[in-house]
Amino acid sequence: MSNVTKTEGSAPDLDVESDWNRLFVGGEWLGPGDRETITVEDPSTREPWGAVPAGTVDDVDAAYEAAVSAQSTWADRDPSERAALVDRVHELMEDHEDAIAELLQVESGSAQLKSTVEFQTAVADVAEATTMPSRADGDIRDSTIAGKENLVKREPAGVVAVIPPWNFPLHLAIRAVAPAVALGNAVVIKPASETPVTSGLVIAKLFEMAGAPSGLVNVVTGRGSSIGDRVAGHPDVDVVAFTGSTEVGRHVAKQAVDSLAFPAMELGGNGPSVVLEDADIDNAVSGSAFGSFSHQGQVCISINRHLVHESVYDEFVEGLVGKAEMLPAGSAHSPATFVGPIINESQRDQILDYIEETVDAGATLETGGGTVDVDGVDDSLVVEPTVLSDVTNNMTAACNEHFGPVAPVIPFSDDEEAIELANATEYGLAASVWSGDRNRAEDVADEIDAGMVHINDQPINEEPDVPFGGMKASGIGRFHGDAIVDELTETKWISVQREQRSFPF
């Protein structure tokens, strides 16, 4: 760590008022020193509320050095000790729920319902991770050679890089961090620049409070353009857990593979929701509104396209418009808000451009399409819940992952066309099918190219013991449950020749 600026600072408290302008490397909270800083903005107010250091390549190297040193001894700890550490993190999260939820509201523009759901999901992730040390079991396999015993053991992968996004920053970081630590790995987190506190520094603080050994969990804040390649392609990295866009994910995966690290990638989506003519339309409309407008559409598994049978198309559109127009939209600081701000100006402008281009191509703007005024904010980031009808699959808001509160509705004539439309995308993350006939719905679900398909439910679902991930350009590997145990460990075959073997020479 000789090249690292070690301007030490006091450890932050676990709340919004704390000074989070720190890196966490080797068990030390390092102030910015001579580094540049990155301003963190509250999307609801458009005002800065904090800053973090712009970490350097030297900081990344120091974090990996600390992680390698810590991991070698942590892997030797009894599984019950590793489980106990993660369990203490679980308890601390529950003790500090209000503070963490407030951080999510301020930093990521999460409305109260979303911050509550994200917190609960993250807590469930950590609870599931406490069971993993005892689940990383081995096996004994028969041998084709007389007198031989084959032992298949599991060992920690080593050092895991975690690169989370800004939309569900706490959950999408800790779902990799907690299992990694529980299974005997050390971690280097490169949090999202827009949400460095909730996707990194809060997690470091929780593990520090829980008594984690120095260097076990490290956080280097900074811009991806400056340190991202070094984090993903470091010679000491063994697994890279990345969640984000497919474009960036492809680059991150290349860096990981160049270092022979496993790329665990959850990438973009263009989720179709298929509404068959025998569906309960009222239920489908309610679920579809939730699936499109939750967290203002900034969800990789949200509904990006509503594919609706032509016989119920008008009824569905009318119902969805009614839902969109009743949803409270505004500042995430208001308890009444359901649709809060988009994370930043460039994302907002892209969403509005997608809407405009889709209307110019012939779609009908049923409702929305603009921004919502927020008191005291000159240039609001809150986009109105928007419904577009007369959409085709190749229009801008349909063929792109719009990542906003936008609901393009596309008609189809039969099940075969619905399946064809659903699969006409490079993505394959999540989907929904609505029908009154379970067998028919399952037949359609079987034909949709997606890693997760939900029948008579919207696709924003995630459970800690069920494999989560996508097909095609939506990712590599799976998070959660036994799937993440496989990805964060290595198998080792040890054979024991218990009876003397004869050799030909």
Residue range 462-499, pLDDT digits in tens: 999 999 999 999 999 999 999 999 999 999 999 999 99
Pairing of strands 148-156, 489-497: antiparallel
- Going by C-beta distance under 8 Å and a sequence separation of 6 or more, which residues neighbour residue 418? 274, 276, 307, 309, 412, 444
The rounded distance, in Å, linking the Cα atoms of 5 and 426 is 44
- Going by C-beta distance under 8 Å and a sequence separation of 6 or more, which residues neighbour residue 82? 74, 133, 181, 182, 183, 184
Q: What is the pLDDT of residue 137?
A: 84
In the predicted structure, residue 439 carries a pLDDT above the cut 60: yes
Instruction: Tell me the per-residue pLDDT of 354-398, one tens digit each, with 9 for 90 and over.
Output: 999 999 999 999 999 999 999 999 999 999 999 999 999 999 999
Domain locations along the chain: 23-267+474-492, 271-455
In the predicted structure, residue 449 carries a pLDDT above the cut 70: yes
The rounded distance, in Å, linking the Cα atoms of 103 and 122 is 14
- Mean pLDDT on 48-69: 98
Percent of the chain with pLDDT over 70: 98
Q: What is the pLDDT of residue 9?
A: 65
The rounded distance, in Å, linking the Cα atoms of 219 and 162 is 9
pTM assigned to the model: 0.96
Q: What is the pLDDT of residue 11?
A: 83
- Evaluate whether 167 touches 243 at the Cβ level (below 8 Å): no
The rounded distance, in Å, linking the Cα atoms of 298 and 293 is 8
Task: State in Å, rounded, how far the first CA of the chain is from the last one.
Answer: 54
In the predicted structure, residue 7 carries a pLDDT above the cut 70: no
Residues of 104-142 as b/e, b for ≥16 C-beta within 10 angstroms? bbbbbbbbbebbebbbebbbbbbbbbbbbbeebeeeeee
pLDDT band at residue 8 using 50, 70 and 90 as cut-offs? low
Q: How many CB atoms lie within 10 A of CB 369?
A: 18
Q: Give me the CATH code for the 271-455 domain, please.
A: 3.40.309.10
Percent of the chain with pLDDT over 90: 97
Per-residue three-class SS string for 147-186: CEEEEEEEEECCEEEEECCCCCHHHHHHHHHHHHHHCCCE
Q: Do the domains at 23-267+474-492 and 271-455 have one common CATH topology?
A: no
CATH 3.40.50.2000 fits 23-267+474-492, yes or no: no
The rounded distance, in Å, linking the Cα atoms of 160 and 228 is 14
pLDDT band at residue 171 using 50, 70 and 90 as cut-offs? very high
The rounded distance, in Å, linking the Cα atoms of 361 and 369 is 15
Catalytic residues: 266, 300
pLDDT band at residue 453 using 50, 70 and 90 as cut-offs? very high
- Mean pLDDT on 116-131: 98
The rounded distance, in Å, linking the Cα atoms of 127 and 89 is 9
Instruction: Tell me the per-residue pLDDT of 243-284, one tens digit each, with 9 for 90 and over.
Output: 999 999 999 999 999 999 999 999 999 999 999 999 999 999
Pairing of strands 186-189, 217-219: parallel
Residues of 382-400 as b/e, b for ≥16 C-beta within 10 angstroms? bbbbbbbbbbebebbbbbb
Pairing of strands 148-156, 159-163: unpaired
Residue with tokens 């990799």: 176
pLDDT band at residue 402 using 50, 70 and 90 as cut-offs? very high
The rounded distance, in Å, linking the Cα atoms of 348 and 266 is 23
- Mean pLDDT on 36-57: 97
3 state DSSP class of 241:
strand
Q: What is the pLDDT of residue 10?
A: 73
Residue among 15, 212, 179, 198 nearest 96 (CA): 15
Instruction: Tell me the per-residue pLDDT of 76-123, one tens digit each, with 9 for 90 and over.
Output: 999 999 999 999 999 999 999 999 999 999 999 999 999 999 999 999
Residue among 207, 203, 124 nearest 164 (CA): 203
- Please provide the average confidence, as pLDDT, over all residues in the chain: 96
Helix axis angle for 79-95 and 202-210, nearest 10°, is 120
Q: What is the pLDDT of residue 90?
A: 98
Tokens of 296: 């203002």
